[in-house]
Amino acid sequence: MKPFSLLIKPASADCNLRCEYCFYIDHLEKVKKTPRMSEEVLEKMIASYMQTNQNNNYAFGWQGGEPMMMGLKFFQKAIELQKRYAPTGAVISNGLQTNGTLITENFAKFFGEYKFLLGVSLDGPAYLHDYYRKTIGQKPTHNSVMRGIKHLRQNKVEFNILILVNNENIRKPNDLYYYLRDQDFNYHQYIPCVEVDDENNPKSFSITGEDWGDFLCNIFDQWIKEDINQISIRLFDSILDYLVNGRYNICHMDKNCCQYFVVEYDGSIYPCDFFVREDLLLGNVIEDTWEDVLKSLIYLRFGHEKSKWHNNCDSCPFINLCHGDCQKFRIGSFQNSKILSVLCKGWKKFFTYALPRFKILADKIRSGNGLTSTIQIKSKKIGRNSPCPCGSGKKYKNCCMR
């Protein structure tokens, strides 16, 4: 059996915030009651997953909406069930994506005890973050998020910062990057915001491909100056992982979308977070086996659509780095996948600009010249006449210093 991970939405789209750009909140309209995963569904999901052959590595991702609306007792029960059904020698990982406003001291202690990895949504300093990320009552949330992060740090919980790059913060890449760095947030994940209306027109908070390319180039410039051994940017790490090891660890880079399963609060199973749709319902954890779901023609067809990219992609020098990009960004892709990603121009600009220096970094990693990853060694401030950290052999002032 091909290994897979679970992305679980125990409270479905329910959330204590109403971020204007949220793509998932509309799912609440389809739910007749408050969506909460029952203990029956939770136990069946965990028990059945633990019975599959995952090379003894089982990955649970908890997401929403806001998964912490389930309360602490729910996650304590999940850990209890994981222990009960885990095969001998199993390695279990739990990740949780949260808006950060509900993190209490007790929650943080629990996350620390059981080694949860958290992804905390933060769109930058308060003036950028609070532009879209508001409560149901339209109150700002930046201070609440920072309070939650303080609890995580006090309990030594590992966390990443998730930044949704929208039409506001994309204009301020330097403000955004330096704010995160000044807060000692060393793990960044930049996520492009692209949402369309019923007629496939971009919504006001969406970004363009051109802006995405400019943003990534700016972030790259700041990162490569002196932060390659201090700041981990998931996209950059993934590019290096591909160049060094030939593997993909971000799904949009791969050529097939059969990689994980979404489990909704009622046990319904779907192939992707962005495609929780009735026509893509694969089954239910109560009634169906994972073997059957893996063999589902709907699932296999969905995964294969990724490789049906636009004809222009065949001659693109960067095809191995995106394989036509995420199907979500090929607007209308599941009906006609041969559509260029709306971010295509941005990806091309970024890869053209940055890939030569990524290749130099990859060569250094392969040769064992001290750069083993982008996050293992704290970097020192680099002098103007020091060798440039990109590995070009030039002095810093004549290369990447700007």
Three-state SS for 38? coil
Residue with tokens 């220096």: 357
11/37 Cα distance (integer angstroms): 6
* Crossing angle of the two packed helices 344-367 and 209-226, in degrees rounded to 10: 20
Dist CA 11 CA 15 (whole Å): 8
Q: Are strands 283-284 and 91-98 parallel, antiparallel or unpaired?
A: unpaired
What is the three-state SS of 269-319? EECCHHHCCHHHCCEECCCCCHHHHHCCHHHHHHHHHCCCCCHHHHHCCCH
CA proximity to 61, closest of 263, 250, 294, 252: 263
Q: CB within 8 A of 246, min separation 6: which ones?
A: none
From 12, 103, 8, 104, select the one nearest 48 (Cα to Cα). Answer: 8
Q: Which residues have C-beta within 8 Å of that of residue 113, sequence separation ≥ 6?
A: none
Q: CA 168, 173, 174, 177 torsion: positive or negative?
A: positive
CA 27 to chain centre: 20
DSSP bridge partners of 161: 120, 188
Burial (CB count within 10 angstroms: exposed 0-12, middle 13-18, buried 19+), residue 136: exposed
**Strand 268-270 and strand 260-264: pairing?**
antiparallel
Alpha carbon distance 107, 314 (integer Å): 48
Give me the pLDDT at residue 76, please: 98
Q: What residues are annotated to the active site? A: 273
> Is the distance from CB of 194 to CB of 206 less than 8 angstroms?
yes
Write down the pTM of the prediction: 0.90
> Strand order of the sheet with strand 268-270?
232-233, 187-192, 158-165, 117-121, 91-98, 57-62, 5-9, 260-264, 268-270, 283-284
**What residues contact residue 137 under an 8 Å CB cut-off, 6+ apart?**
none
Tens digits of pLDDT across the chain (402 residues)? 789 999 999 999 999 999 999 999 999 888 878 999 999 999 999 999 999 999 999 999 999 999 999 999 999 999 999 999 999 999 999 999 999 999 999 999 999 999 999 999 999 999 999 999 999 999 999 999 999 999 999 999 999 999 999 999 999 999 999 999 999 999 999 999 999 998 999 999 999 999 999 999 999 999 999 899 999 999 999 999 999 999 999 999 999 999 999 999 999 999 999 999 999 999 999 999 999 999 999 999 999 999 999 999 999 999 999 999 999 999 865 555 578 999 999 999 999 999 999 999 999 999 887 554 443 333 334 444 555 544 445 554 455 443
Euclidean distance between CA atoms 223 and 215, whole angstroms: 12
Asked if 90 and 60 count as a contact pair (C-beta separation under 8 A), the reply is: no
Burial tier of 213 (Cβ tally within 10 Å: 0-12, 13-18, 19+): buried
* pLDDT at residue number 389: 46
Amino acid 32: pLDDT: 77
CB 4 within 8 A of CB 260: yes
Q: From CA 209, how far away is CA 197, in angstroms rounded?
A: 18
- Do the beta carbons of residue 220 and residue 350 sit within 8 Å? yes
Is 327 in contact with 334 (CB distance < 8 Å)?
yes
The span from the CA of 246 to the CA of 39, in Å, is 41
Six-digit token pair at 387? 């060798």
pLDDT at 402: 38
Bin 398: left if φ > 0, else alpha if -120 < ψ < 50, else beta: alpha
